[in-house]
Amino acid sequence: MIANGTESFLPVYSSWLGKPVVMVVVIRQCHVLMPCHIVGESAGDVRVRIHPGWEMDVRKVLILAVEGVVTAAKDRVN
């Protein structure tokens, strides 16, 4: 494990942990909207859940924007 530089790690995406978000990610010079839940963060990656049981790591340098998803009260499950 390389620990150099980890003391300056700032958890930028931690405020969205567990919340539904839409991320704008660059894949082969295309901007892709990716609805997901952020479940973890490291110095270089963000761990996201696409579907229950399906998670992946996204490099932070590929993330252009993150926006929270607002669900209408009538669409929420009790």
66-69 LR contacts (CB < 8 Å, sep 24+): 66/13, 66/16, 66/21, 66/22, 66/23, 66/24, 66/38, 67/21, 67/22, 68/16, 68/19, 68/20, 68/21, 69/19, 69/20, 69/21, 69/22, 69/35
Spans of all domains in the chain: 12-70
Condensed to tens digits (0 to 9), the pLDDT of residues 2-15 reads: 555 555 666 788 88
Per-residue confidence at 78, pLDDT binned at 50, 70, 90? low
What is the average pLDDT across 19-48? 92
Tell me what pLDDT residue 1 has: 45
Tell me what pLDDT residue 69 has: 82
Query: Model pTM greater than 0.75?
Result: no
Architecture of domain 12-70: Roll (2.30)
